[in-house]
Amino acid sequence: MILMLTGYPMDKMQEVEAFFRTGHLQYIPHLSVDCVIFGFHEGELKVLLLKWKHLERWSLPGGPIRRDQSVDETAHVVLKDRTGLDDIFLQQFYAFGSMDRKESVLLELFDRLNVSNHEANWLSERTVSIGYYALVDFSKVNPVPDFFSEACSWWDVCDRPSLLFDHDAMVERALQTLQQQLYYQPIGLNLLPDKFTMPELQQLYEAVLGRKLDRRNFQKKIQKMGIVERLKERRTGGAHRSPYLYRFDVPRYEQALAEGLAYGF
């Protein structure tokens, strides 16, 4: 096998060759993890995407599952490798296993990489992918591309390029799951900086739900949840009246996550 193509660092070629040849010994073939990593910046919900070398197209970050690693661990490693972040809210939302997700673009790429179909067989057949979504603090992320990608960057969820594989459907489903969970679970911890204002939290909710909320009712609702505490400080420097800063009450927040907030029936 000869791997020779601009954009791929020579000193890693041996490693990559081994990956194609013997990766199936270390990884479970036909199974992978993909992560929808959500961030929040300037009032917009963002998602972290990778730009593939040579394909000029984008996908979600992901990777194969090691035989000696749990699926959850794999997702955490993907998150860590792409963002530098550890110990983050990460939740499985769906396993994608339809037949039409054969990764035919990969075949093209392997072709250009001079990887024979046989050698890359364990990578090119239909792959079942387990989707996770993460909520991270935009300002703490250091985006790092993986070997196959030349760029790793944030995109507006609502204004992103069309993605490879079925990753568009994954983003949609992750967002839908997030919206549903909003009704009985808090969000914000991990997504916002440690200290934040109530209007910022409201913007986050509005970005996720895709609609405006009433300022006063929102405030009452959050207060009733009992998951935030108001600080004496205010955020100064902006125009207009200075809003109070808040901080999540982490124990109560965790409790609300675990027990849920409210139900019908």
**13, interface contact from its own copies, DNA, none, CB < 5-8 Å by kind:** none
Candidate residues 97, 193, 226, 238; the one interacting with its own copies per rule CB under 8 A: 97
Site string for DNA, 105-144 (x = CB under 7 A): ----------------------------------------
Q: Which residues contact 253 (CB under 8 A, 6 or more apart)?
A: 186, 189, 227
Q: Which is nearer to its own copies, 13 or 213 (CB)?
A: 213
The reply to whether 199 sits near DNA by the rule CB under 7 A is yes
Least distance in angstroms from the C-beta of 129 to its own copies = 10
| Contact with DNA (CB under 7 A) among 101, 243, 254, 255 | 243
Interface with its own copies, residue 144, by CB under 8 A? no
Task: Decide whether 18 or 95 has the Cβ nearer to its own copies.
Answer: 95
Candidates 25-33, 42-50, 56-64, 167-175 — which segment interacts with its own copies by CB under 8 A? Answer: 25-33
14 Cβ neighbours under 8 A, 6+ residues apart: none
Taking the complex as a whole, the smallest distance from the CB of residue 39 to DNA amounts, in Å, to 20
* Residue 56 interacting with its own copies (CB under 8 A): no
Q: Which stretch binds DNA (CB under 7 A): 134-142, 161-169, 184-192, 195-203?
A: 195-203
- The span of 69-77, 116-124, 166-174, 197-205 binding DNA (CB under 7 A) equals 197-205
Residue 197 C-beta: closest distance to its own copies, Å = 20
DSSP the chain: -----TTS-GGGHHHHHHHHHHHHHHEEEEEEEEEEEEEEETTEEEEEEEEETTT--EE--EEEEETTS-HHHHHHHHHHHHH---S--EEEEEEE--GGG--HHHHHHHHHTT--TTTTHHHHS--EEEEEEEE--GGG------TTEEEEEEEETTB-PPBSTTHHHHHHHHHHHHHHHTTTS--BTBTS-SEEEHHHHHHHHHHHHTS---HHHHHHHHHHHT-EEEEEEE--SSSSSPPEEEEE-HHHHHHHHHH-S----
List contacts with its own copies (CB under 8 A).
Answer: 28-31, 65, 67-72, 92, 94-95, 97-99, 125-126, 128, 130, 180, 182-184, 205, 209, 213, 221, 261-265
